[in-house]
């Protein structure tokens, strides 16, 4: 799952700030890749008024890794770096992450968060309402691809 932080936490309680810190979402317009484990789903439920999430497609994940993916030391992810980790290409790595065989958040040499631009042409709805009621927050399923594409 791809999780994007939309709102700032000024005035939020300490537990919510700690939850976002555990998800490695410390700034607005940052994204992380997580698994759909019960512990992560509980964190998303607690932070649902500040983040949006969904299942990215393989092509969007590949673009995200090539344009915004970073190794420790703020170095770009390249084919050579992935070959040292045992992957042939960025496409294969994206497919492995999507299938769940590799957990992106457990890879030691990768930075956990992706720093994104604000979406081009802005957010379509209110950032204080859920996606289901015409806003931007919460679970958006496959529509996360459109948002990530505009933020790359």
Whether CATH 3.20.19.10 fits 1-152: no
Distance CA 122, CA 115 (A): 17
* Cβ neighbour number for residue 92 with a 10 Å cutoff: 14
- Mean pLDDT score of the chain: 89
Q: pTM for this structure?
A: 0.88
Rounded mean pLDDT, 30-48: 91
- In terms of Cβ atoms closer than 10 Å to its own Cβ (0-12, 13-18, 19+), residue 42 is exposed
Number of Cβ within a 10 Å radius of residue 3: 23
Confidence of residue 43 (pLDDT cuts 50, 70, 90): very high
| pLDDT score for 117 | 93
Please state which of the ranges 31-35, 97-101, 134-138 shows the lowest mean pLDDT.
Answer: 97-101
Task: Report whether pLDDT(42) > 90.
Answer: yes
The gap from C-alpha 17 to its chain's centroid, in whole angstroms, comes to: 17
């Amino acid at each position: 799952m791809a999780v994007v932080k939309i709102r700032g936490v000024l005035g939020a309680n300490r537990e919510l700030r700690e939850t976002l810190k555990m998800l490695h979402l410390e700034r607005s317009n940052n994204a992380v890749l997580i698994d759909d484990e019960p512990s992560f789903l509980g964190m998303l439920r607690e932070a649902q008024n500040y983040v949006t999430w969904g299942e990215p497609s393989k092509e969007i994940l590949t673009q995200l890794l090539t344009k915004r993916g970073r190794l420790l030391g703020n170095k770009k992810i390249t084919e050579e770096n992935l070959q040292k980790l045992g992957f042939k290409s960025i496409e294969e790595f994206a497919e492995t992450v999507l299938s769940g065989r590799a957990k992106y958040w457990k890879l030691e040499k990768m930075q956990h968060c992706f720093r994104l631009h604000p979406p081009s042409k802005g957010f379509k709805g209110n950032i204080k309402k859920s996606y289901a009621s015409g806003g931007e927050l919460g679970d958006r399923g496959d529509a996360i691809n459109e948002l990530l594409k505009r933020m790359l």
